[in-house]
Amino acid sequence: MQRRQFLLASVATTALAAMGPMMAAAPKSPLLDPWTGPYGGVPDFRKAKVGAFADALKHAIDLNRAEIAKIANSKAPPTFANTIVALEDAGRPLGRGAAIFNIYASTMDDDAMKAVEKAMNPVFAAFGDEVVQNPALFARIKAVYDKRETSGLSPEQQRLTWVTYRRFVREGAALDTAGKKRLAEVNQDLSKLYTDFSQNELLDEESVWLTLEKADLAGLPDWLIAAAAEAAKDKKLDSKYVFANTRSAMEPLLTYSTNRTLREKAFRMWTSRGDNNDAHDNKANIAKILSLRAEKAKLLGYPTFAHWICDYQMAKTPNAAMDLLMKVWAPAVARVHEEVADMQKIADAEGAGIKIAPWDYRFYAEKVRKAKYDLDESVMKPYLQLDKIREGMFWAAGEVHGLKFSEIHGLPTVHKDIRIFEVTRGGKHVALWYFDPYARAGKSSGAWMNEYRTQERFKTPIAPIVSNNCNFVPAGDGKPILISWDDATTMFHEFGHALHGMNSNVTYPSLAGTSVVRDFVEFPSQLNEHWLPTHEVLSRFAVHFETGKPMPDELVAKIKSAKTFNQGFLTVEFLASAILDMKLHLAGATPIDAATFEKTTLAEIGMPDEIVMRHRLPHFGHIFGGEGYAAGYFNYMWADVLVADAAEAFEEAPGGYYDKALCQKLHDDIISVGNTVEAADAYRKFRGHDATVDALMRDRGFPAPKKS
């Protein structure tokens, strides 16, 4: 369920994602050139030379600095046009260069690129503070903000003014001179620590792996063995089998291997990323990050960093977020105990002579699923081909959003494996979608969506360019890549983020696409997961890779009947990470030792012994690799509340998930409006009421929370 969008650290100029015409003089570096060619221009990765990134981006910052100075020092009275819109149009060369920089940082992060990141991230942070702390600029923004309701501005223009002003205030524009100076120092230190944390995490994923012999493969299905053999070839380890230190490799190994000793070894390796007391250890970085964040929050006038983050979310307060998490925690833990009891019975019946441990959970959960539902992953997998699932995503997007996807060739990409599709509606161009499906050295693990270019239309219509990124391992010999049900769900999830970006139809890029509050951005993506298990998708695209026959109705029925299976595990491993994230950031200036805090806090909340957090602290990149999900990992659960409620609307609609009227309402009220509307108001308009936790509990098969 991971979403990763790499952005410049704290740069408050709001046009960084906008890639249209420039105001400043033509940039000297080809990296910063306006994007040319078809579809309103596309990024030309042939011009991207990693060794030239730093100089080009520094030049782009100089260009943007000149634009900011022109706006801030204008003698004309501040207006929406000469201040807010001018800011929105500034930074175009920097936006183009930053887009390519971020793509390389997430997908092509070799040693040379790592060095550029280390050099440039503090520069970005410093420039962001420079812009925010420009008193003349902020004075003009505030002047427009103070008169926004009496200046004849449209609702969207008022919203942009509010968002711009709020962003500057949140980043310290109203601080005194001493406060601004110290905040800039804190941001500098944090930018370096975020880079160090992320690179340590990646290094532990790339430099450590399991090399197995044929005798070690007991229980593993053919498709997994073939992928491990292919991975071994890449490392020049012929006749061996390699499993990378990533979720996509480790989870299936832990699910199928009958070798318990091997499972334990793999589990400990995987869950110890960033926690090996070596050069890549992240525990000291965590302590420094938390201390600096606490200081940052105090400087900005908030009790804790969690209060600063939540203030700009739907949740509004840490208490509201924690209240939701703890309402779900108790029934989820109770369900885990039931799941473990079921697994222990099977282990005992087999004479295993063990007590279920974390490295046993996935293995015995599959046995329980087979026993209870006559369903196991190996039966589903032959029907789940990567390319067919992608086609299913396209088909559903056509039915729900009226979109058509057509592959195009000949455009430059950052890597040869990337495919490009034109997205149209009614024959008119809507967007480009880049698909980067395979794992490789230097690529971040997991799956995510990224925006190469954000939609806008305030000067001239500019169509979005978005990407989805995964880490599948090719099967080799031209064989189709078979994926798990969870992988298929993740693909629909990340594609939901892409659809959010593609369907955007707003005026200003700062309000476009996925530029919404974080606990709302997961709503469209998590809702999109619900189209995968529909009969319409499975009957067309879940076809056997050898026979071409669709998934049998009885297998579909088993999948649906097992919907709430293992929800205790899935919910608890997520909630543990979300709760610790919030508690860490509510601790304020209290010094934190990551190892001690993780152990004691999990014990305090009653973490089952058989599960570990989905993301242990030393590799919790969501919250320590930047500020995107810091004190906000709860966002996924907050969005799940909305999703469960919205899903009931589709289930009750005459046309189900393909009900034309409700799909149109989803588009009009949610998917197309970006941040032009307050998130809570947008949802209320779509659904007719606020969401409560009750629908979520029903969806997961948990008992309804007791009324207080």
Report the catalytic residues. Answer: 494
Round the CA-based radius of gyration of the chain to a whole number and report it: 25
* Cβ atoms of 455 and 506 closer than 8 Å: yes
Residues paired with 36 in a beta bridge: 42
- Pair of tokens at residue 433: 């979608």
**Closest alpha carbon to 672 in 527, 458, 455, 459:** 455
- Pair of tokens at residue 227: 């992928």
Distances (CA, A) of 337 to 326, 345, 351: 17, 12, 21
How far is 22 from 20, CA to CA, in rounded Å? 7
Name the residue type at position 276: N
**Closest alpha carbon to 158 in 456, 511, 455:** 511
How far is 708 from 706, CA to CA, in rounded Å? 6
How far is 494 from 433, CA to CA, in rounded Å? 12
Q: At 29, is the secondary structure helix, strand, or coil?
A: coil
Pairing state between β 428-438 and 465-472: parallel
Q: Which residues of 603-612 are buried (b: 16+ CB within 10 A; e: fewer)?
A: eebebbebbb
Question: In sequence order, which residues have a C-beta less than 8 Å from that of residue 688 and are 6 or more positions away?
Answer: none
How far is 90 from 40, CA to CA, in rounded Å? 19
Q: What are phi and psi of 25, to 5 degrees?
A: -65, 155
How far is 540 from 528, CA to CA, in rounded Å? 18
Q: At 165, is the secondary structure helix, strand, or coil?
A: helix
Distances (CA, A) of 652 to 20, 535, 559, 577, 641: 43, 16, 21, 33, 17
* Cβ atoms of 424 and 116 closer than 8 Å: no
How far is 77 from 541, CA to CA, in rounded Å? 60
